[in-house]
A and B are shown apart, each in its own frame.
Chain A
Amino acid sequence: MNTSKTPEPAAPAGQNAAPRPAGEALLEVDGLGKHFPVTAGLLRRQVAAVKAVDGVSFSVRKGETLGLVGESGCGKSTTGRMIMRLLDPSFGRVTFEGTDITKLSQAKLRPHRRDLQMIFQDPYSSLNPRKTVGALVGAPFKLQSIQTEHGVKKAVQELLELVGLNPEHYNRYPHEFSGGQRQRIGIARTLALRPKLIIADEPVSALDVSVQAQVVNLLEDLQDELDLTYVVIAHDLSVVRHISDRVAVMYLGKIVEIADRNDLYERPMHPYTNALLSAVPIPDPAERAGRERIRLQGDVPSPMDPPPACRFHTRCWKAQDICKQVEPPLVELSPGHQAACHFPENAAAPATGLVADATAKPDD
């Protein structure tokens, strides 16, 4: 089977295939934040805010995969949903293909949604149980009023084949499939509009480990084939390592470190990244014995009242007074490797010298 057979509904085909200069930013996120108000009393007065995401900036180049990792509740899913505009950001800006989509109305946003799609976490809840596979995967064509060359059914069957499902299962219902197959249906639906950027929110965490690898490999194959750009949100560090080109580590609503994959996994700078990586299980017991595991003390502080300055100082073994007073800026400590720490590891110069920049930043 050849790709030319697959539907090419979105935009003229030439635009999709046009070679873009490498390194061009497809998505830019600038100081993005989401504060959920906490209300109390009869008048629903706002008494506090859950600072789920508190000023996050990064950019994604065309064709690359950015991994977004962090503990539960660090704001990584919220970030993904804000990029998709499923949540309205409290502040900050999302620029997609040079268009600021942060303040666009839903009607104006609709055409952009073709290029910006999402893979959801739970394959059991992301497919409407009342619809057939054909209706589910064909819905994007209908919602975007796109004419398909040989009819929607043909287009859907080609998509099913593309993700490794039997195209004859067109008339089946989601409950007749396994978790991995359901996730493939979700991926087929995501691909229907030939998007340029896909936000994958924990695409494999609800799946069996044996199926995880299949879905991760499918995502990688599709990326090569369809020239996709991914933002993969995950908490599984080995999945992220496998799939990402660059990795951003989040802690309590902020990015603490962002770097190329190998750089980050081999020379982590932020103490939090170090602690995370030391928790990754090593399958070889002989190797395991020689490793020192970093055990963080205490719990993640409440995002309603995050610690001042460096948010990690309450649990950091390297914390000193400055960490409680001055927020370390996210600065480039080696080429392509940014970290927000006063006392980074594996780095020549600490970030402290750049504190002046931090105080000038309007982040907080």
Chain B
Amino acid sequence: MTAPIEVTGSEAEAQPDAVLKGVDRKAIQGRSLGQIAWMRLKRDKIAISSAVFLVVLIIVSLPGVTGLITGLVGGSPNKFNMPLVDATLGGPIGKLGGMSLDHPFGVEPINGRDLFSRILYGARVSLLIGVLATLVSVVIGTVLGIVAGFFGGWVDTLIARTMDVFLAFPLVLFAISLVGVIPSGFAGLEGNGLRIAILVFIIGFFNWPYIGRIVRGQTMSLREREFVDASRSMGAKPGYILFREILPNLYAPILVYATLLIPTNILFEAALSFLGVGINPPDPSWGGMLSQATELYSVAPHFVIVPGLAIFVTVLAFNLFGDGLRDALDPRTR
């Protein structure tokens, strides 16, 4: 341990560094995989426009912002505008379902409620349930998936079989019956707050096996990589290996899967609302609007088209963004 250190290599191998040394000796900042993915994502026009749309949608559905906008255009979502509907037939007066500057998406038949503000308020419900339910699935799925994949053996068998049970569960039937059983006030929540909580729980809790399987499979392949052995040979405990070594390598697939799960959950919420077990009227939700519209589409076709388009565009934007994100994070899948 006393010899001076000069042995670090021949001239030849020092060359690549030597070139760099001349340029900027001080600030050599590496690019993380995340930064590289972001650079790739920025070039994907479709993904970026989807992201812009989603950000705008999220901003306008923030509690304060929605009220501000509907105060300018459309008015309260639950306000009846009887002068705007035909008193005898119930259809909206005017072209295209009563579309005007005051009511850009027209009005509902029969009671004349403004569709624009109902869509905006409905967006909040859809996004809230879609995102929160996805969060629940991602957290449960990631933790159980990573544990199953890493430890294997009976732990894996137990978790994997549990996943199979959950996947075989008749979710829609369960949701319908659960909503009937749960009292109007429960755990300090009531009304639509309770309904949203139930929907988040049902959708999130029963969707975790999908992400759990992905995480489990990825973990099984990652745990065989030598950096796991290297970490263990330095004395790392299982918790460190799981959450500091393996989990950072799973961020990409988890993120991609989450952005693709959100639209599925939005659709599922819409379906449940359509079936009458979602948000209670008069509060607006996209699925609930569609449900009402099915009886009135002959009088006011726009009543079907507007919420339908809202769901379609939002789901499409999430999917396109998720696809772009996957391409950016893992160029091999192209």
Contacts and interface: CB of A to CB of B under 8 A. Distances in A.
A169 B30 contact: yes
A120 interface: yes
Given A128-B227, A164-B14, A214-B10, A118 B233 contact: yes
A109 B231 CA distance: 14
B26 A3 contact: no
Interface stretch (B1-9, B129-137, B291-299): B1-9
Nearest to B4: A2
Query: Which residue, of A164, A214, A227, has the highest number of chain B Cβ atoms within 10 A?
Result: A164
B227 A113 contact: no
A244 interface: no
Contacts of B28: 166, 168-172
Interface string B151-163: 0000000000000
A226 B225 CA distance: 29
A131 B266 CA distance: 35
B334 interface: no
Interface string A308-343: 000000000000000000000000000000000000
Given A129-B33, A171-B29, A3 B17 contact: no
Interface string B211-235: 0000000000000011101111111
Query: Which residue, of B29, B230, B249, has the highest number of chain A Cβ atoms within 10 A?
Result: B230
Interface in A133-190: 133, 139-140, 143-144, 161-166, 168-173, 175-176, 180, 186, 189
B282 interface: no
A121 B2 contact: no
A110 to B, nearest CB: 4
Contacts, number: 138
A176 B30 contact: yes
A225 interface: yes
B227 A127 contact: yes
A139 B234 contact: yes
B9 A125 contact: no
A299 interface: no
Interface in A210-224: 214, 217-218, 221-222, 224
B21 interface: yes
Interface residues of A, number: 62
A359 interface: no
Interface in A288-302: none
A130 interface: yes
B88 interface: no
Query: Which residue, of B3, B31, B226, has the highest number of chain A Cβ atoms within 10 A?
Result: B226
Contact of A126 (B1, B2, B227): B227
A113 B235 contact: yes
A132 B7 CA distance: 25
B33 to A, nearest CB: 6
A74 B72 CA distance: 79
A110 B28 CA distance: 35
Contacts of B21: 166, 168
B32 interface: yes
A95 interface: no
A143 B235 contact: yes
B9 A140 contact: no
A165 B18 CA distance: 10
Determine the interface band of chain B, counting residues with CB < 8 A from chain A.
35 or more
Given A214-B9, A214-B10, A225 B31 contact: no
Nearest to B12: A214
A233 B8 CA distance: 23
Contacts of A114: 235
A86 interface: yes
A111 B251 CA distance: 32
Contacts of A3: 1-5
A352 B8 CA distance: 49
Contact of A225 (B5, B231, B248): B5
B20 A125 contact: no
B44 interface: no
Contact of B26 (A17, A168, A225): A168
A6 interface: yes
A173 B249 contact: no
Contacts of B20: 166, 168
A84 interface: yes
Query: Which residue, of A116, A130, A162, A170, has the highest number of chain B Cβ atoms within 10 A?
Result: A130
Nearest to B228: A128
A176 to B, nearest CB: 6
Interface in A76-99: 81, 84, 86
B48 interface: no
B146 to A, nearest CB: 15
B223 to A, nearest CB: 12
A144 B229 CA distance: 16
Given A128-B227, A143-B234, A176-B30, A218 B9 contact: yes
A162 B248 contact: no
B236 interface: yes
A121 B233 contact: no
A113 B8 CA distance: 25
19 contacts: A2-B5, A13-B1, A86-B229, A86-B232, A117-B233, A117-B234, A125-B225, A126-B226, A130-B249, A133-B30, A139-B234, A164-B8, A164-B13, A166-B21, A171-B29, A173-B31, A175-B33, A217-B9, A224-B7
Interface of A: 1-3, 6, 8, 13, 16-17, 81, 84, 86, 106, 109-110, 113-114, 116-118, 120-122, 125-133, 139-140, 143-144, 161-166, 168-173, 175-176, 180, 186, 189, 193, 214, 217-218, 221-222, 224-227
Given A162-B5, A172-B29, 14 more contacts: A2-B5, A81-B229, A86-B232, A109-B235, A126-B225, A126-B229, A139-B234, A143-B236, A168-B21, A171-B30, A172-B28, A214-B12, A218-B8, A225-B3
